[in-house]
Amino acid sequence: MKTLILYGSFTGNTQFVAEEISQDLKRDKIEHDLVNASEFSPQKIKDYDLLILGSSTWDDGHLQYDFEEFFQEIQDLNLANKKFVAFGCGDSNYEEFCKAVDLIEDFWIKKGAEKINKGLRIDSFPQMENNQKLIKDWLTELKSKLV
């Protein structure tokens, strides 16, 4: 299954989570590409079977800028037969905590893609011990569905 980890990050938190996911998949010899949304050609989305999509949440519940641009560029693509899962970073002090995860899931489901795992929502800094456990547990659940 050709896999893409695609992320949008301003502060580096979502990038950190994307890199953690990548390292874990590498340990299990799961081949994948890790790409920042600002450097990804949307037409290449057709080359992947599984999409692990991550964006931080900004302002009043918006996607990170590069990720928003990516969404605009794939509006007309057929995304049926794609599998996906979403992750994101946010701050629970805001009303729209990790709204980007919801936006990703809603968009891809409406485009016909299959969500294969619950979204991962990281509160504050992903390096914190409780967030590291969340990431690890989420990855264990995700990988169990890839078999």
- For the packed helices 65-73 and 99-110, what is the interaxial angle rounded to 10 degrees? 10
Write down the pLDDT at residue 59. Answer: 84
Type of residue numbered 138: W
Beta bridge partners of 33: 4
Render pLDDT for 31-87 as a digit per residue (tens, 0 to 9).
Answer: 999 999 999 999 999 999 999 999 999 988 999 999 999 999 999 988 999 999 999
Q: How many CB atoms lie within 10 A of CB 25?
A: 20
Q: Which residues pair with 88 in a beta bridge?
A: 121
Residue 20 pLDDT class (50, 70, 90 cuts): very high
Instruction: Say what the pTM is.
Output: 0.96
Hey, what are 116's tokens? 């294969």
- Give CA–CA dist 28/38, Å, rounded: 27
Predicted confidence at residue 24, as pLDDT, reads 97
| Contact yes or no for 5/32 (Cβ under 8 A) | yes
Percent of the chain at pLDDT above 70?
A: 100
**Sorting pLDDT into bands at 50, 70 and 90, what band is 106?**
very high
126 pLDDT band, cuts 50/70/90, is very high
Q: Which domains does the chain possess?
A: 3-144 (3.40.50.360)
